[in-house]
Structure 1
Amino acid sequence: MMYLTSGVLAVGLFDDLSRFLENRLEEFLRSNPHLELEALLEQLREQEEDTLKLIADLQLQEKRSQEEILSTAQEIQRWHIRVQKAKNAGREDLAVKAQEREAALLRQGNQQWGQMQGLKERISQAQDLLKKVQQRRQEVQTKATEAQTARAKAQAQQRIETAGWSNQSRSYSSGNDPLEETFRRWETEAELEEMKRKMGR
């Protein structure tokens, strides 16, 4: 049962992630902000971890399968010797039964071999999947780093502009504004002229 479940899981993971990578990644990279990139990066990290666990599980099953095949092969050899012993002793009845057991074990061994080959194929698929996930995660990490750098530059520029505006405002209020000086001189001259006119009446 464990074998079947892991097999379905391997295929399901492979299909689902392939669709996810094809349909969603470019959309995320194109149209979503930094937080979406971080969410995608975390999702890919989890996917990588799940795939690593799957590979470990499949490899454990492969080891068990190999042990079962070895045990079956030893049983086949044991019954093959018994067939020969029974024939040499003239016990055809026992020889026939031993041959039937040997044939049944051969069928079992062939089935176990097929299961092991299936596990090998699933391990190969999971390893391919892992490479794709790691490659995509690296791509997203690069994009996230670029976005972070761009944001830092934009924030620094904004601080510079804000500081410049603040300094400019302070310079106006501190009397260093050339336009302010020009208006003050003009207004002072106008007041003097007005006073002269009043006094000359």
Structure 2
Amino acid sequence: MSDNWLQELEQNLDSKLERFLRSNPYQDFLLNEQFERDQGYKLMRKELQLKDAANKLRKELIELVKQIRLWKERSKRAEKYGAHSLAIKADKHIQNLISEGEEIWSNLKQLGDNLRDIEKQSLTLNEVSSSTSSTIEKEWRDFEAQQELDDLKQKKAN
């Protein structure tokens, strides 16, 4: 029962809003413009988060490469001085580091894919925003021209 009245209220408010926006096209334009602006800000924040995460992963990769080089040197030194079991352990550790690096690389690639998607969405939003602006401008000019025409007709009739 309680969901029903809430649904009715929501539908009633939606229909009132639609009627208001139909009778006030400029308010509809402003509402859409604000929505597009909000979407743009969300996309920018997401883009910044993705870039920040990518930078962190790049730094991790750089540190990992340093660790791999260090352990390769250690493995060679252990092998050179006959510490074969230590060299084997170092080689296993190197493989673990390489696996970790491959995982980070995969995550970095995924972030890059996500970033490209965000950039496409931003471009699409900008195109829609430009289109909407030019459409409302034309509608407004048409509205003003119609008002002037109506005024002239009314003056002529009087």
Q: TM-score range by the shorter chain?
A: 0.7 to 0.9
Residue 80 of structure 1 contacts residue 102 of structure 1 at CA under 8 Å; is this kept in 2? yes
Say whether 1:104 aligns with 2:121. no
* Overall identity of the aligned pairs, in %: 13
Amino acid at match of 2:138: E
Q: Which runs of 5+ in 1 are unaligned?
A: 1-31, 169-201
Moved over 3 A (4+): 161-165
Provide the rounded CA distance (Å) in 1 between the counterparts of 2:40 and 2:65: 37
Alpha-carbon displacement from aligned partner over 1:129-157 (angstroms, at most 9, x marks no partner): 11111111111111111111112222222
Q: Match for residue 75 of structure 1?
A: 67
Query: Of the two, which has the highest radius of gyration?
Result: 1
Say whether 1:88 aligns with 2:91. no
Say whether 1:114 aligns with 2:114. no
Provide the rounded CA distance (Å) in 1 between the counterparts of 2:137 and 2:38: 19
Q: Which runs of 5+ in 2 are unaligned?
A: 1-21
The alignment's C-alpha RMSD in Å is: 2.0
Q: Match for residue 149 of structure 1?
A: 141
Residue 38 of structure 1 contacts residue 144 of structure 1 at CA under 8 Å; is this kept in 2? no
Provide the rounded CA distance (Å) in 2 between the counterparts of 1:57 and 1:155: 49
Q: Match for residue 64 of structure 1?
A: 56
Amino acid at match of 2:94: E
SS at match of 1:139: helix
Amino acid at match of 1:57: Q
TM-score by length of 1: 0.63
Superposed, which structure 2 residues align to 1:16-95 within 5 Å? 34=25, 35-95=27-87
Cα displacement (A) at 1:81: 0.5
Provide the rounded CA distance (Å) in 2 between the counterparts of 1:144 and 1:125: 28
